[in-house]
Amino acid sequence: MDEYLILPIPFQGSCAAGDEEILSSDQIDSPFRVKRIRASFILGSNRLLHLKIFISLASQNPSSGEPTGYALLGFYGNVSYLAGDDEVVELEINSQIFNGGQHLKVYAQNLDTSTHTVDMIITLEKLQGD
């Protein structure tokens, strides 16, 4: 019998003005799906901090640019990122099931002249086989 474990994965860091940053999870050892995304944006970020989410087999991150892997956002919309200002953005998702051995990666791009905090929780439903 298969069971599911709900697992929140927090990502916190900072992204300097005009810079980019990649925050990575540990390797996820069993099949999973993304159920929920929660991103907090502070007052004054003015939608200039863009957050993208990737599912990636790569354990290392590139020195610049987006990580390799499957981009979770952007289907059917005109942007592939989350942004906000003095708000919490929450998305309920029921993604496809991804194989184990992958990493979650949050790619932050800061288009502002001030450093901004990256604060996101990605909730997984992890398949636990019997």
Whole-structure pTM over 0.95, yes or no? no
Query: Does the pLDDT value for residue 3 go beyond 90?
Result: no
**pLDDT band (50, 70, 90) for residue 76:** confident
Domain residue ranges in the chain:
3-128
Q: For 76, left (φ over 0), alpha (ψ -120 to 50), or beta?
A: left
- Tell me the CATH architecture of domain 3-128: Sandwich (2.60)
> Rounded to an integer, what distance in angstroms lies between the CA atom of residue 82 and that of residue 110?
12
Q: Which CA distances in Å does 88 have to 24, 100, 118? A: 21, 29, 12
Structure tokens at 71: 């981009």
* Average pLDDT score over the chain: 94
CA dist 87 and 38 (Å) reads 10
The answer, yes or no, to whether residue 99 has pLDDT greater than 90, is: yes
